[in-house]
């Protein structure tokens, strides 16, 4: 297929499905040109005529993750093998083998581009519920940690993404603390100060356990539900850590 036609399909996808739709439109044109069947993606806007009531689907989440993966990976001006392996493993856990390979092809093209972060995040915010966006931030931190070190520049990009996704500072600090272990991490995970009373501690635990409950993201697929269980476990671990420090039963 000629480049002009690819750009046409990409532009049409952008018009119908925002920045992410543009990425998919161009990718599908490229894949069909190579004789591939594509990967069965439909944006939330193309699936339904009701744009005011979008629904998050597993495919939406994966494409969104890939775009933001690229932003985080390029933050320190390095593309590491460990990061690429993380992305590949993520896709293979989510998708059948052939689809995972096709998404990986799409991701390699995404890495070469410079998509408008604010616009992409705005579309994600309008298309995803709050629990899904929280899970997205958690997954991005997982990528950053894949080389054994959470780089400050990557944290800055994730923080910017969180702001665009309307994730408040307390929620961002809570998820960040799951990857930055220090003496105050347990309190940050529960979004309270170390001066909180025992009653406030219990109330915070119940609130965070409900916020991060894996059942809230079952619509993203079984593997991402299991990933969400890591957040849920971090909340439980933080609570048990503070209880032990305070000598509570």
Q: For the segment 130-173, what is each residue's pLDDT rounded down to a tens digit? A: 998 999 999 999 999 998 888 999 999 999 999 999 999 999 99
In a domain, 161, yes or no: no
* 145 vs 17: which has the higher pLDDT: 145
pLDDT of residue 166: 96
pLDDT of residue 189: 96
Residue 55 phi/psi, 5-degree rounding, is -125, 135
What is the C-alpha separation between 148 and 106, in angstroms, rounded? 26
Answer whether residue 215 shows pLDDT above 80. Answer: yes
* 124 vs 50: which has the higher pLDDT: 124
In a domain, 169, yes or no: no
pLDDT digits (tens, 9 = 90+) for 25-49: 655 555 555 444 444 444 444 444 4
Q: What does the buried/exposed string (b/e) look like for 105-142 if buried means 16 or more CB atoms within 10 Å of the residue's CB? A: bbbeebbeeeeebeebbbbbeebbbebbbbbbbbbbbb
CATH of the domain at 239: 1.10.287.110
| DSSP, res 96 | -
Q: Collect all residues with Cβ–Cβ distance below 8 Å to 200 and sequence separation of at least 6.
A: 192
Total-model pTM:
0.76
In a domain, 6, yes or no: no
What does the angle CA 239 – CA 243 – CA 245 come to, to the nearest 5 degrees?
120
In a domain, 196, yes or no: yes
Contact 184, 196 (CB under 8 A): no
pLDDT digits (tens, 9 = 90+) for 47-104: 444 433 334 455 556 777 888 999 999 999 989 999 999 999 988 887 888 888 888 9
pLDDT of residue 14: 41
Q: How many domains is the chain partitioned into structurally? A: 1
What is the C-alpha separation between 93 and 134, in angstroms, rounded? 20
* 8 vs 173: which has the higher pLDDT: 173
* 189 vs 93: which has the higher pLDDT: 189
Q: Which domain holds residue 213?
A: 182-249
In a domain, 190, yes or no: yes
In a domain, 9, yes or no: no
pLDDT of residue 47: 41
Residue 191 phi/psi, 5-degree rounding, is 60, 45
* 223 vs 174: which has the higher pLDDT: 174
Which tokens sit at 217? 């993201």
The model's confidence at residue 238, banded by pLDDT at 50, 70 and 90, is very high
What is the C-alpha separation between 208 and 6, in angstroms, rounded? 45
The model's confidence at residue 10, banded by pLDDT at 50, 70 and 90, is very low
In a domain, 202, yes or no: yes
| DSSP, res 214 | G
In a domain, 228, yes or no: yes
Answer whether residue 4 shows pLDDT above 80. Answer: no
Q: What is the mean pLDDT of the chain?
A: 80
Answer whether residue 122 shows pLDDT above 50. Answer: yes
């Amino acid at each position: 297929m000629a480049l002009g036609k690819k750009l046409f399909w990409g532009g049409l996808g952008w018009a119908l499905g925002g920045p992410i739709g543009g990425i998919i439109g161009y990718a599908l044109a490229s894949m069909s040109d190579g004789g591939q069947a594509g990967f069965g993606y439909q944006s939330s806007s193309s699936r339904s005529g009701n744009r005011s009531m979008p629904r998050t689907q597993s495919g939406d989440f994966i494409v969104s993750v890939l775009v933001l993966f690229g932003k985080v990976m390029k933050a320190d001006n390095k593309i590491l093998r460990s990061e690429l392996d993380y992305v590949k493993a993520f896709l293979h856990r989510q998708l059948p083998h052939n689809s995972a390979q096709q998404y990986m092809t799409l991701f390699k093209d995404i890495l070469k581009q410079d998509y408008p972060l604010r616009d992409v995040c705005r579309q994600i915010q309008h298309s995803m519920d709050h629990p899904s966006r929280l899970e997205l931030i958690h997954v991005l931190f997982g990528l950053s940690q894949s080389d054994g070190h959470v780089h400050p520049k990557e944290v800055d990009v994730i923080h910017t993404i969180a702001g665009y996704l309307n994730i408040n500072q307390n929620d961002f600090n809570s998820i960040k603390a799951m990857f930055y272990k220090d003496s105050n991490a347990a309190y940050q995970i529960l979004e309270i100060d170390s001066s909180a009373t025992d009653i406030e501690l219990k109330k915070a635990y119940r609130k965070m356990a409900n916020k991060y409950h894996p059942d809230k993201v079952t619509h993203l697929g079984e593997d991402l539900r299991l990933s969400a269980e890591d957040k849920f476990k971090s909340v439980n671990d933080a609570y048990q850590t503070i209880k032990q420090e305070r000598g509570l039963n």
